[in-house]
Structure 1
Amino acid sequence: MIYLGPAGVPISSKDRSTLGGLRRVAELKLNAMEIEFVRGVAMSNQTAEEVGRLARELKVELSVHCPYFINLCSTDKRKLEASKKRILDSVERCYHMGARIAVFHPGFYGSLTPEAAYEMVKEADRDMLDRMKSMGIKGVALGHETTGKVSAFGSLEELVRLCKEIRGCEPVVDFAHLWARNAGKIDYGRIFDQLEPLKLKHLHTHFTSMEWTPAKVPGAGNERRHLPISFDQPPVDPLVREVLRRNLDITIISESPVLEQDSLVLKQKFEKLGFRF
């Protein structure tokens, strides 16, 4: 199955609540929505349950994006613990609404070597998964998003390695971040090939166009700003064709500045090539 929808409440939703956003997603005949906790987790468990009931009724696939203020590579114990708490608070809401994945940006290398940063993220994941077990939380994956800056932990290679080692962790492929990080280059087929060893039943992804700037590292870049997918950077059509060719079970969340408008553009592209939602 292919799930398409916006990162947050649709722009066209008159009711700006999460419930209103879900109803607007369904009106538009989209089938996914990512709940954005990026500034903090303000939703109660009770509201999360209400959101989940409505999503199931409307047949909208839910996911959650954790707050931005997360750094699992921090050597400051207080900052590290605060990062874990923000993720676990998001995971708890995820569980109560019946969403299967909580997405976050893992952190920054800072003064650490990439290998040391990797070990810190891995240890933090193990700790959070242990806490989730003690909380009785099942069926929620820790979704590590590929990052768009060379200073940030989260290359595809790092995340595939991590998710091979830690059960309960999944990569979240942000195609625009990979495009920026690789200085305006992307090979969708190679990305999906790299993911194959994980044998994922479902792949969660983000898509938008992206302006990037060159990094000091040769052949690398950094994300600058999100753009509507009409900019075609990274190109859209090759992704659509590759998803259909591989018959992928995938969610594609639009992080475009025009949110649901670009989800609808993606839907039209899939339908033009014969897919029926």
Structure 2
Amino acid sequence: MEIQLVRGKAVNELDDFEELGEIAHSLDIYMAIHAPYYMDFLGNGYMRNKSSKFLQFAGEIGSQIGARTIVTHIGPYHGCSSRDAIEALVPMFRELRNYYLQHNYRPSIGVELAGRPDLFGTLREITELCQRVRGLVPIINWAHLHARGSRWLNDRESFKKVFDFFDTNLRLAKFYCHFSGVEFDVDGNERHYAPVKKGEIKFEHLAEVILENNYDVIMISDSPLMEHDAMYMKLITERVESRRQERIARREASERIRQVRKAAVEA
């Protein structure tokens, strides 16, 4: 479960979060917090400080509710090159990571891929930032990645390449993902999220790759039909797994028959 603090919450609205964390723990639910969308780590000094302060606050709340990940966007480039942006972000996030460690905050900080070209967050940018700041984790937003990558997530192989890229560069034990459909404007840029059934990206391809490779994945629904599509993705995953098990059973039966025939010939 990802708690969406996307517009910012007053502290007095968070009084029940600790109880929520206890309930989630009893039900074995993975908890996370999503920072507001106004996070702006490359903006002016005021916005950088405000963004950092919120992540400090989110770390405290996350620890109280047993959250394991604090998810954040980086924000616009504000004229920075990709290289200059990374060099500016590395010390900021090292300081935030150290703040979490000093205060014994349990969650990891996760930085999310971005879909628009004016926002920091390409696949390679997020990966390099995580490589250089130990403890930082990537948040794979498949809709953003599809939009930023010229709409290329159209088969199983394309999804597998993303997992392979992270495996090669970060050796992740767990993948934290967001999924939804995505719609585009007339210029081909990401416009907004869409229901899974209406999007170009086929969740079935992703489910096949996850199951066949036994990846440990947290999947968050970003769809406008959030709960509905969460259940829809669960249903697709179950169907894919059922078909996969049927194929395995057929192969095993075929192999047993082959072995019996071979033994009969040898006898």
TM-score, with length taken from structure 1: 0.81
Q: Number of paired residues? A: 237
Aligned to 1:270: 237
Equivalent residue, structure 2, for 1:166: 133
Name which of 47, 53, 56 aligns with 1:88: 56
Distance 1:223 1:119 in 2: 27
1:122 is displaced (CA, Å) by 1.2
Whose radius of gyration is greater, 1 or 2? 2
Instruction: List aligned pairs for 1:104-119, cutoff 5 A.
Output: 104-119=72-87
Question: Is the contact made by 1:43 and 1:93 (CA closer than 8 Å) also made in structure 2?
Answer: no
| Greater strand fraction, Structure 1 or Structure 2 | 1
Structure 1 residue aligned with 2:28: 59
Contact kept, 8 Å, 1:67 with 1:87, in 2: the verdict is: no
Match of 2:198 among 222, 231, 236: 231
**Greater relative contact order (Cα 8 A, min sep 6): structure 1 or 2?**
1
Tell me the amino acid that sits aligned with residue 87 of structure 1.
L
Unaligned runs of 5+ in 2: 243-267
**Measured at CA, do residues 214 and 169 of structure 1 come closer, stay the same or move farther in structure 2, by a change above 3 Å?**
farther
Equivalent residue letter for 1:69:
Y
| Cα drift, residue 46 of structure 1 | 5.0
Q: Does the Cα contact within 8 Å between 2:204 and 2:237 map onto a contact in 1?
A: no
Specify the alignment match of 1:121 in structure 2: 89
Partner-residue secondary structure (3-state), 2:134: coil
CA contact (8 A) 1:53 1:97 kept: yes
Paired residue type of 2:183: E
1 or 2, which has the higher helix percentage? 2
Q: Are the aligned partners of 2:221 and 2:230 in contact in 1 as well (CA < 8 Å)?
A: yes
Which residue number in structure 1 is paired with residue 259 of structure 2? none
1:136 correspondence with 2:104: yes
Which of 198-207 and 166-175 deviates more?
198-207
Structure 2 match to 1:251: 218
Using the size of structure 2 for normalisation, the TM-score is: 0.84
Partner of 1:206: 178
**Structure 1 unmatched runs, 5+:** 1-32, 216-220
DSSP 3-state at the match of 1:110: coil
Letter in 2 for 1:144: V
